[in-house]
Amino acid sequence: MGRWSERLNEVEEVAVPIYEKTIEVDVPVSVAYGQWNKPESYSRFMSGVEHVTELDADHTHWMTGFGGFQREFDVEIVERVPDERIAWRATAGAHHTGSLTFTALGERRSCVDLRLDFEPDGALEVLGTTVGVVGARLQSYLKGFKSYIERHHVVDA
């Protein structure tokens, strides 16, 4: 067991992983941006997010569950540029910062770029990061967002 513990300590000392994911959605940039400003809807398109409580305009409390493990954390919006960018940082619980950048690809199509700097907490998160679970989950969130926003927003022809 000593070797396993030593190996985990080595893994935990690596640099904080940075994830960058992108998806195109068939809605105007204002609609995509607007949906990300509705934290109460996140659980509808983010698998594992049980609910997000909006504490005020810039603070939310998250409850998540993955593989039988539950986690709570708080997030603060640190930058908001309408129809362009949202950036946040965790203030309690999880250790991460992130941003979403929105780019218009025409009147009815947008690109959403997600960037997340995630510091794994404990052996399970280190393992999940190492085998690609975190990156896959982020891509799943974006695919869920695409499906949700395109299904719930109809652009007039």
pLDDT tens digit sequence for 124-138: 666 666 666 778 889
Q: What angle, 0 to 180 degrees and rounded to 10, lies between the N-to-C axes of helices 2-12 and 123-130?
A: 70
**Proportion of the chain above pLDDT 70, given as a percent:** 79
Contact between 91 and 75 under an 8 Å Cβ cutoff? The reply is yes
Token reading at 122: 């404990």
Q: What is the pLDDT of residues 15-63, one digit of tens each?
A: 667 899 999 999 999 999 999 999 999 999 999 999 999 999 999 999 9
pTM reported for the whole predicted model:
0.81
Three-state secondary-structure class, residue 65 = strand
Token reading at 143: 């695919």
Place of tokens 């947008």: 110
60-72: b (≥16 Cβ within 10 Å) or e: bbbebeeeeeeee
